[in-house]
Chain A
Amino acid sequence: MKKLIDALKHHAEGDLLPLEAARIIAEESDLTIAGIEDTALCSGILPARYARNRNTISIDEQRMLFQSRVAVVGCGGLGGYIIEELARIGVGHITVVDPDTFEEHNLNRQLFSKIDTLGQPKVAVAAGRIKEVNPAVTIVPVQDVFAGTNGRGLIGKVDVVADALDSIPRRLELAEVCEKCDIPLVHGSVGGWYGQVTTQFPGEYTLQKIYSRYGGERGIEKDLGNLSFVVPLIASIEVSEIVKILLGVGSTLSGKMLSLNLLDMEFTEITF
């Protein structure tokens, strides 16, 4: 450990660790980039990719994010942006669950869909993308259908779960699994010009209240579809909620739901 800390101090530029330096240390040792950056953060040295975070997120908070684990259930529209933003902000361990492959109708909004990824598993494409963006992040792709029966095993031991599903019954199963596993759940959903976000801590049952009257599989998006600019907005609000939960800062949408109408530019907060 002392040898690694000495190497970090030797290669650091001030208190920043350039990626190239982490790579050199990795080549000279049997350590991974993730392991090197974890030790750096514990030693007050900031991986240089986070330099623009530092006036808002301290080195200690950056370490907290890096040592956090988040499961993103759904790797389509919302999921793609949530995964990208979690990796860029520096969440160290991301589990991604989705059974699907990319199809042409995903191209209007799903970040990881490209012409040359059509037909490929969404979770595998996501894992490849994140390795290119932030190689210190451990991403666990799970190509499977989330359900109440297998959910606990699929998401594993995580600090927060992000709901990026496209099925209302599956969402309610996810809420039930999170309740049983005592894990906070950040919910988002979209349809047409509209979106909504809430954060549900164990015991709150907010999702069950939101959908209590509805027995269908899909909501208004069945008719309205989903638009390119609505999806990343809702995903970004979900990520801000996740980061606040992981760091224990700010105010969340616990016990509330934020409803967004981009057609009339109305943001409405609902209390449960």
Chain B
Amino acid sequence: MLCGTEIVMSVSSEKIRIFLKLFASLRLERFDAANREYDPGTSVAGVIRIEGLPEKEVTLMLVNGKHVECDHTLADGDTLSLFPPLGGG
């Protein structure tokens, strides 16, 4: 039995293009920003997993400059920005 996500993915094989921006220490030994392609239906959490980013170090996520939760589904052309936690005083 197919779940909803599998149905969506089966009717659209085209990738979605996402501009991925990393902030603060997430950039270190990685990259500042990059154009990426993912399967349709990919969530913010999916990108974090696919890119091999440390899940605990990504605490703030924005899509097109606006705060979202990690289950937010990305759309073609979105800009995804990821931030680590800052706690020092």
Q: Which A residues lie at the B interface, using CB under 8 A?
A: 74, 76-79, 163-168, 171, 188-196, 209-214, 216-226, 259, 261, 264, 266, 268-272
Contacts and interface: CB of A to CB of B under 8 A. Distances in A.
Given A214-B56, A220-B85, A270-B65, 15 more contacts: A74-B89, A166-B88, A168-B87, A189-B89, A190-B86, A192-B24, A209-B67, A213-B58, A213-B60, A216-B85, A218-B87, A220-B87, A222-B87, A270-B67, A272-B66
B32 A219 contact: no
B38 interface: no
Contact of A190 (B27, B59, B70, B89): B89
A219 B88 contact: yes
B47 interface: no
B89 A213 contact: no
Contacts, number: 103
Contacts of B69: 212
Task: Provide the main secondary structure of the chain A interface.
Answer: mixed
Nearest to A270: B62
Contact of A77 (B62, B67, B88): B88
Chain B interface size, under 10 / 10 to 19 / 20 to 34 / 35 or more: 20 to 34
Contacts of A210: 59-60
A258 B79 CA distance: 18
Interface string B16-36: 000000011101000010000
B87 A194 contact: no
B89 A270 contact: no
B88 A218 contact: yes
A102 to B, nearest CB: 14
Contacts of A272: 66-67
